[in-house]
């Protein structure tokens, strides 16, 4: 981050390293009726005291969000809260954060990491969601197991953010072809909308794939599901014009804003998702 060209390139996807930078970006999005989600980068922390520090950081973040009156919620990764170290203390941290989300009128979101964490993450979600209402979970459409996982969550009235999935997984675990992942996303998204129409759960589409967004929006209209009963979540700096026009059209849109010093692995994932981004980095390197 000390090198000007790196700062310019990373800034496209991340407003800055501090929570205050993320909240300033959230404030700038709010007049366009775009809500936000903040998350601090950094996975797989080890050591109980680090988990405690992350929990305390997010507790303070909830207070900051409320003090500034922002339409902002918080997303965390279980490994940041020490899941690799102790499932029990990770669960305790999640409970504390979920209680804080209730107290501050916000929400707590749990990200999904690679497939080795899915069972443990679902167990954490079941535990916390059965005690606190405003808790959501990311579910990955590329996993072959996902249809059954979604069914198994329905009795919790879940908030599910459906995403395609960002980790390299073997073919017996996840669909290797993009076409199959896209088909799975549309089918699962449709299933979530149908459940919402029956009054069960709140579906969230976490994708920048506008062809999929259009299909799902069309399905919601066919089901006569009001626009405020489902949401579209995208990442900061990606498809920003579409985020604005969806919000202007009356859709519930949230933008996930990352911050923190540990941006390198996350930034590499963003570049890998779209090779054209490499050209953007090259331009940032050579142009002022």
Contact positions with ligand FDA (CB under 6 A) in 207-226: 207-209
Judged by CB under 6 A, the stretch of 43-51, 118-126, 191-199, 267-275 that binds ligand FDA is 267-275
Q: Does 274 bind ligand FDA (CB under 6 A)?
A: yes
Closest CA to 38 of 52, 53, 17: 17
Binding of residue 73 to ligand FDA (CB under 6 A): no
Nearest-angstrom CA–CA distance, 112 and 78: 8
* Nearest residue to 186 via CA among 226, 155, 218: 218
Query: Considering the rule CB under 6 A, would residue 203 count as an interface residue with ligand FDA?
Result: no
Q: Which of 57, 118, 51 is nearest to 90 (CA)?
A: 51
Pick the catalytic residue from 161, 202, 254, 270: 161
Is residue 111 part of the annotated active site? The answer reads yes
Measured CA to CA, the distance from residue 108 to residue 73 in angstroms comes to: 6
* Among the listed residues 30, 14, 16, the one whose alpha carbon sits nearest the alpha carbon of residue 254: 30
Q: How far apart are CA 203 and CA 49, in angstroms?
A: 35
Q: Which of 175, 180, 143 has the alpha carbon at shortest distance from 162?
A: 143
Of 6, 180, 277, 281, the one binding ligand FDA by CB under 6 A: 277
Query: Mask of contacts with ligand FDA, 115-154, x by CB under 6 A?
Result: -----------------------x-x--------------
Least distance in angstroms from the C-beta of 185 to ligand FDA: 7
Site mask, ligand FDA, residues 11-50, x = CB under 6 A? ----------------------------------------
Residues belonging to the active site: 111, 161
């Amino acid at each position: 981050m000390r090198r000007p060209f790196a700062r310019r390139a990373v800034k496209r996807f991340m407003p800055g390293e501090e929570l205050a930078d993320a909240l300033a970006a959230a404030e700038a999005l709010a007049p366009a009726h775009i809500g936000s989600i903040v998350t601090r980068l950094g996975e797989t922390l080890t050591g109980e005291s680090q988990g405690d520090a992350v929990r305390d950081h997010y507790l303070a973040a909830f207070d900051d969000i409320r003090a500034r009156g922002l339409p902002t919620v918080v997303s965390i990764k279980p490994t940041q809260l020490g899941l690799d170290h102790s499932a029990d203390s990770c669960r305790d941290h999640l409970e504390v954060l979920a209680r804080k989300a209730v107290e501050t009128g916000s929400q707590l979101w749990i990200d999904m990491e690679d497939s080795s964490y899915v069972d443990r993450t679902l167990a954490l979600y079941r535990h916390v969601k059965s005690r606190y209402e405003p808790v959501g979970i990311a579910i990955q459409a590329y996993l072959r197991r996902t249809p059954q996982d979604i069914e198994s969550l329905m009795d919790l009235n879940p908030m599910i953010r459906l995403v395609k999935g960002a980790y390299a997984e073997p073919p017996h675990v996840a669909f290797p072809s993009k076409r199959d992942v896209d088909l799975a996303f549309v089918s699962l998204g449709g299933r979530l909308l149908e459940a919402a129409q029956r009054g069960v759960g709140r579906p969230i589409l976490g994708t920048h794939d506008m062809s999929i967004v259009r299909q799902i929006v069309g399905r919601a209209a066919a089901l006569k599901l009001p626009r405020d009963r489902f949401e579209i979540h995208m990442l900061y700096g990606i498809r920003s014009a579409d985020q604005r026009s969806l919000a202007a059209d009356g859709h519930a849109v949230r933008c996930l804003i990352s911050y923190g010093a540990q941006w390198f692995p996350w930034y590499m994932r963003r570049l890998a998702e779209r090779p054209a981004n490499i050209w953007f980095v090259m331009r940032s390197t050579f142009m002022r």
